[in-house]
């Protein structure tokens, strides 16, 4: 095999028991290519020009760029390939690709249709291993297996691993080249001690992942003289005493490739107005007294009425209380009364679903049994419910005793289950208040909820339970790089929702205790969460729904390894915990993530002159389709209509995240909202400019060293100053 013309790189490869190779793949053969020079293969002649260069500031990192061109002849059904080959491979290695592969996806496969659930009670257990639907995966025993995805099917085009011996590897590549998306393949042969990590152009998946299962693979490409493909990879080897080292260095390199834009088009306040008007016009049900999951009483689905937590129930009310007018606030209070007073059962747990006529324990769609209730839903309900109780009390308003009793009983029931089982599980048996299906990170936000219970009821036992549960989740989830089971429609596949829910708890635990353990755990998990956040702006097909409005994909958040799309925000949080973590610890990645996520979420609000699909003004859809999981025609499309959880996430963002942050002592000015600004320390003048066509009411948080040393209140915006900036104008204010 030809060697790369770089002594340092060749020595590094040799020390890592690895090799890099170039080859051509046709329908029937594989042929090696030289690193530089020409090669005649059949009736075709190829040229290759490769450069290898070290990456400044990155130890043991090299950029390898190969320009491969068909000079003469034709080559049917052809792709070109760059492969990193590893001998002495340990199949116990943690294999990774952001938002798609975690620990090689070596999990129990339960091949069921959507919306998935375990088919019968034989699958239920307290010590339940991670289970997923039919997804790309390596095998538990290391037997030969192949994972095929592509650069548009991951949050950042990257492959990596960390071995039990403490070595690590990452490969980054751009999201496309001259021929479009590139294939990303991981092949493992444990018995032979070999594995390969491959970039291929054009992509050539033998089967294309769908929501679950696969469909026919990519069409093959015929090459003609003059066709060129550039393969670019950034390769890094590193010592990895901890698994976390893999995520730390991934986060460092996630933006090495790709373009990113800052779009200032729709300010927070105007986006909130549009979405709030839509939700109150179409989701409020006056007869039932709650914000519905769906927008129509006609032909409604069972889950379109009211669902506790997760996608809206008890969450949509918070921005109505925080910033709503009297009508919206009154509706929110009715909705909270419905939740606190209607959903509890005698043992303290809450029912999680209402179908328009009655409460159900959980979504009634089979094969879900009638007695299991999601820990995610219960934890969300307790967290957001207590948060709103404390908000109301901070304003001097009286909260019904029944609400506090309900919240306290739920907190006690959940703490009791945790104390008995050493975990909180994923689904609880509402009849017995026992774990029905265990494992997962479904209760990721529960420690944060218990901290709120400690504040509400003045009992230290809740704080102790929050710390104990938090440490269990750090040990079992953060340290293993596996946060799972948050959504109720994907068994226990790895997901972003449980990851961020736990991050909320870790940040809150640090603020409550001052213990640096929680700050470090939060920093670690922030880097794991970054694997779910799109790191570049995807070029949507021009005629697709998202292509027509040219929205940025940077900052969109992928759901899980099953539902292979990003979404405009975090399900279902504002992201304020990232802002708090940056402010508390100086973690710049946390700031970068919230700036991207919150800064771009308003781009996905449909409005006049910016209609997305057929959605009316104020509507948002959860689909940010970069991948072809729903078919090539679904890329940038399948905008099926209003999605209440995304609209709730936007309203939460506006209610909880400052639009502008200023440190007067250092001059640091950070802008998340759709304005620009400058700070003049001499005159103590902050100037904000609004480049959009809409008026902006900007929430500005101003601090100096003394105020920055104090903890933020539960409602960050209570510390902010609202500054109104007319469309197309600038405003200067003295601070």
DSSP 618-686: T---S-B--S-TT-GGGTT----S--HHHHHHHHHHHHHS-SEEEETTTTEEEE-SS-EEEEETTTTEE
Question: What is the rounded average pLDDT of the residues 558-574?
Answer: 97
> Quick one: pLDDT band at residue 365, thresholds 50, 70, 90?
confident
Token pair of 36 as six digits: 């530089």
pTM: 0.97
Q: What is the pLDDT of residue 138?
A: 98
Task: Write down the residue that tokens 């998306």 correspond to.
Answer: 181
Cα 230 to Cα 125: distance, rounded to the nearest angstrom:
50
- 344 CB neighbour count, 10 Å cutoff: 20
Chain centroid to CA 520: 20
Phi, psi torsion values for 645, nearest 5 degrees: -70, -35
Answer for the pair 201, 80: CB distance below 8 angstroms, yes or no. Answer: yes
CA 580, chain centre distance (Å): 18
pLDDT at 4: 54
| Stretch 188-198: mean pLDDT | 97
CA dihedral 604→605→610→613, nearest 10 degrees, is 70
Q: Is the dihedral of CA 197, 203, 207, 212 positive or negative?
A: positive
- The CATH number for 268-657, chosen from 1.50.10.10, 3.90.470.10, 3.30.365.10, 2.60.40.10, is 1.50.10.10
Q: Does residue 1 have a pLDDT over 60?
A: no
Residue 75 confidence class, pLDDT cut points 50, 70, 90:
very high
- What backbone torsions phi and psi does residue 592 show, to the nearest 5 degrees? -60, -40
Place of tokens 């508390």: 584
Residue ranges of domains in the chain: 7-100+137-253, 268-657, 662-734
Q: State the residue for tokens 């603020």.
A: 511
DSSP 445-491: THHHHHHHHHHHHT-HHHHHHHHHHHHHHIIIIITTT--B--SSSST
* Residues 6 or more apart whose Cβ sits within 8 Å of residue 218: 183, 202, 203, 204, 205, 208
Q: Are 540 and 627 in contact (CB under 8 A)?
A: no
DSSP state of 615: P
- The residue-averaged pLDDT of 645-673 equals 98
Residue 252: closest CA among 589, 27, 661: 589
pLDDT band at 325 (very low <50, low <70, confident <90, very high): very high
Write out pLDDT tens, residues 258-301: 999 989 999 999 999 999 999 999 999 999 999 999 998 876 78
Average pLDDT for 151-169: 98
Rg (CA), the chain: 26
Query: Residue 42 has what pLDDT?
Result: 86
CA distances from 591 to 406, 497, 595, 597, 687 (A): 36, 19, 6, 10, 22
Contact criterion met (CB below 8 Å) for 50 and 22: yes
pLDDT tens, position by position, 26-65: 988 899 999 999 999 988 999 999 999 999 999 899 999 9
Output the six-digit token pair for 613: 């699909």
pLDDT of 5 > 60? The answer is no
Per-residue tokens: 381? 């309900």
What's the start-to-end Cα distance of the chain, in Å? 67
Mean pLDDT of 479-505: 97
Confidence at residue 299, expressed as pLDDT on a 0 to 100 scale: 67
Coil, strand or helix: which one is 18?
Answer: strand
Q: Tell me the average pLDDT of the chain.
A: 96
Spatial neighbors of 401 by CB under 8 A, at least 6 apart, are none
pLDDT over 70 percentage in the chain: 99
Q: Are 310 and 567 in contact (CB under 8 A)?
A: no
What DSSP character marks residue 113? P
The class that CATH gives domain 7-100+137-253 is mainly beta
Mean pLDDT for 639-643 is 95
């Amino acid at each position: 095999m030809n060697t790369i013309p770089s002594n340092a790189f060749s020595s590094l490869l040799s020390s890592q028991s690895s090799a890099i190779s170039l080859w051509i793949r046709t329908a029937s053969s594989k042929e090696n290519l030289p690193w530089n020079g020409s090669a005649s293969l059949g009736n075709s002649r190829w040229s290759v020009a490769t450069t290898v260069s070290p990456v400044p500031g990155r130890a043991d990192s090299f950029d390898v760029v190969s320009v491969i061109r068909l000079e003469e002849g034709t080559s049917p059904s052809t792709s070109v390939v760059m492969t990193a080959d590893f001998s002495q491979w340990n199949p116990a290695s943690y294999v990774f690709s952001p938002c798609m592969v975690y620990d090689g996806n070596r999990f129990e496969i339960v091949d069921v249709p959507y919306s998935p659930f375990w088919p019968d009670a034989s699958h239920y257990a307290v010590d339940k291993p991670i289970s997923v639907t039919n997804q790309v995966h390596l095998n538990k025993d290391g037997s030969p297996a192949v994972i095929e995805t592509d650069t548009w099917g991951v949050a950042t085009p990257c492959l990596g691993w960390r071995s039990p011996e403490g070595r690590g590897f990452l490969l980054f590549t751009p999201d496309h080249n001259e021929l479009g998306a590139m294939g990303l393949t991981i092949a493992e042969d444990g018995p032979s001690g070999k594995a390969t990590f491959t970039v291929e152009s054009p992509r050539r998946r033998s089967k294309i992942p769908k929501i679950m299962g696969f469909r026919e693979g990519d069409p093959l490409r015929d090459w003609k003289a003059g066709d060129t493909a550039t393969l670019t990879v950034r390769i890094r080897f590193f010592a990895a005493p901890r698994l976390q080292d893999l995520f730390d260095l991934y986060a460092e390199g996630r933006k090495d490739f790709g373009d990113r834009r800052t779009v200032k088009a729709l300010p927070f306040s105007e986006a909130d107005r549009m979405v709030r008007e839509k939700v109150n016009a179409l989701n409020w049900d006056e007869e039932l007294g709650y914000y519905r999951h769906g927008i129509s009483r006609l032909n409604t689905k069972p889950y379109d009425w009211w669902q506790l937590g997760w996608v809206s129930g008890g969450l949509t009310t918070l921005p109505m209380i925080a910033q709503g007018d009297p009508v919206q606030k009154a509706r929110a209070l009715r909705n909270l009364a419905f939740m606190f007073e209607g959903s509890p059962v005698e043992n303290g747990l809450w029912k999680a679903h209402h179908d328009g006529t009655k409460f159900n324990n959980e979504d009634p769609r089979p094969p879900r049994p009638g007695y299991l209730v999601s820990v995610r839903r219960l934890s969300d309900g307790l967290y957001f419910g207590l948060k709103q109780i404390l908000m109301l009390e901070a304003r001097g308003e009286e909260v019904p005793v029944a609400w506090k009793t309900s919240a306290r009983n739920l907190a006690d029931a959940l703490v009791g289950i945790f104390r008995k089982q050493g975990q909180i599980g994923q689904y609880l048996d509402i009849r017995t208040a026992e774990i029905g299906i265990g494992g997962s990170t479904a209760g990721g936000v529960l420690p944060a909820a218990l901290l709120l219970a400690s504040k509400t009821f003045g009992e230290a036992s809740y704080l102790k339970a929050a710390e104990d549960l938090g440490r269990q989740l750090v040990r079992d989830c953060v340290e293993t790089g596996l946060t799972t089971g948050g959504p109720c429609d994907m068994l226990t596949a790895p997901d972003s929702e449980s990851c961020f829910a736990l991050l909320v708890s870790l940040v809150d635990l640090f603020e409550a205790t001052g213990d640096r353990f929680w700050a470090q755990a939060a920093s670690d998990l922030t880097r794991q969460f970054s694997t779910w956040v799109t790191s570049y702006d995807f070029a949507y097909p021009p005629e697709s729904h998202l292509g027509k409005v040219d929205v940025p994909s940077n900052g969109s958040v992928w759901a899980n390894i099953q539902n292979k799309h990003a979404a405009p925000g975090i399900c279902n949080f504002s992201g304020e915990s990232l802002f708090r973590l940056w402010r508390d610890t100086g973690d710049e990645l946390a700031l970068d993530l919230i700036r991207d996520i919150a800064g771009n979420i308003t781009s996905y609000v449909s409005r006049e002159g910016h209609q997305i699909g057929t959605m009316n003004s104020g509507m948002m859809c959860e689909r940010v389709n970069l991948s072809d999981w729903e078919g090539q025609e679904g890329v940038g499309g399948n905008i099926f209509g209003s999605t209440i959880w995304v609209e709730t996430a936007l309203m939460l963002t506006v209610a909880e995240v400052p639009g502008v942050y200023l440190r007067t002592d250092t001059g640091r000015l950070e802008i998340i909202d759709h304005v620009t600004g400058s700070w003049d320390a001499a005159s103590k003048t902050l100037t904000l400019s609004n480049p959009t066509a809409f008026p902006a009411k900007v929430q500005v948080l101003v601090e100096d060293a003394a105020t920055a040393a104090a903890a933020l209140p539960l409602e960050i915006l209570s510390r902010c100053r609202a500054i109104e900036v007319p469309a197309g104008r600038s405003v200067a204010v003295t601070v």
